[in-house]
Amino acid sequence: MSPERPMLVAGNWKMNTSLDEALVLAAGVGNLTVSGIETAICPPFPWLVPVARAGREHGWQIVVGAQDCSAHGNGAYTGETSAAMLQPWCGMALAGHSERRRYHHESDALIGEKVRSIAGAGMIPVLCIGETQEERDADQTETVLERQLGGAFRAAQGADLNKLVVAYEPVWAIGTGQAATVQDAAAATAFIRGWLRQHATSLVGTTRILYGGSVTPDNAAGLFAQPDVDGALVGGASLKAADFNRIREAAAALATREIS
Ligand code: 13P
């Protein structure tokens, strides 16, 4: 593992947990320090402040992240939350999760603007990309990744992306129990690294590429062993502290691996 690219295991809780459940889950993660890697949890918006406060009180070595962030600075955007509002509590925010692309029709340009806002506030932007089953069946995976990366990068132009994380989350693998094979995950993440090398050369060494989609304690180690997989974005398995912690430990076991 590169010192400038430590493994990152991030839990996306999506729209799950009550406040009490969120605090118990966060404690289950925060009370176990796993060194050599970075850990993040992304609770629902209303729990960001109580979870972040608990983390500070107990000295948890975890990053609190938001599941989304407005592209706008402030103003008449009912229901949205700006990067400046998140920044006191969060060290990270997701942009372009497939569920937001699907249910909220977010475009690559909007997602790139969100990445710009997140980075501008000094937080880690996690740009989520990935193809649908239909696109995969039509052999369009690389075309889709290229379009999503290109569109987001164009819109984020000028932003300082030195903390950027790209999460490769094939839509067909999300919540289905059917993770990508290690070969497929390796191929897609290598493609993303190649794209960065060509189009964002200065970021190729620092950008962490995560795999997401039905990651479990049982398949994590195999995925993490792939040279361009720098961690995971975990949905369902992040809702059980014991499972999530086993995934963190699988990443830590590889923390000494060589840089690709
Ligand atoms: P699952 O791990 O539940 O498949 O979800 C993945 C995901 O969407 C994380 O953002």
For 179-192, what is each residue's pLDDT tens digit? Answer: 999 999 999 999 99
- Is residue 113 predicted with pLDDT exceeding 80? yes
CATH of 4-258, one of 2.40.50.140, 3.30.1360.230, 3.30.365.10, 3.20.20.70: 3.20.20.70
- Is residue 151 predicted with pLDDT exceeding 60? yes
Distance of CA 106 to the CA centre of its chain: 17
The active-site residue, picked from 72, 106, 169, 249, is: 169
DSSP string computed for 66-84: ES---SSSSSS-TT---HH
Residue nearest to atom 7 of ligand 1 (CA): 235
What is the 137 CA–ligand 1 centroid distance (Å)?
Answer: 21
Give residue for tokens 């599941």: 67
Q: Do the beta carbons of residue 259 and residue 227 sit within 8 Å?
A: no
Residue 161 has what DSSP assignment?
Answer: -
For 59-69, what is each residue's pLDDT tens digit? Answer: 999 999 999 99
The answer to whether 97 is a known catalytic residue is yes
- Is residue 30 predicted with pLDDT exceeding 80? yes
pLDDT value of position 3:
61
pLDDT bracket for residue 256 (50, 70, 90): low
In order of 13, 68, 92, 100, 111, the CA distances from 95 in angstroms are 15, 6, 10, 9, 6
pLDDT value of position 259:
45
pLDDT value of position 255:
78
Structure token digits, residue 77: 């955007």
- Is residue 254 predicted with pLDDT exceeding 90? no
The active-site residue, picked from 97, 99, 106, 131, is: 97
Domain locations in the chain? 4-258
For 166-183, what is each residue's pLDDT tens digit? Answer: 999 999 999 999 999 999
What is the 233 CA–ligand 1 centroid distance (Å)?
Answer: 7
Residue nearest to atom 2 of ligand 1 (CA): 235
130 lines ligand 1 (CB under 6 A): no
For 210-224, what is each residue's pLDDT tens digit? Answer: 999 999 999 999 999
- What is the Cβ-side half-sphere exposure of residue 88, based on CA atoms within 13 angstroms? 6
What is the 42 CA–ligand 1 centroid distance (Å)?
Answer: 12
220 lines ligand 1 (CB under 6 A): no
- Is residue 54 predicted with pLDDT exceeding 80? yes
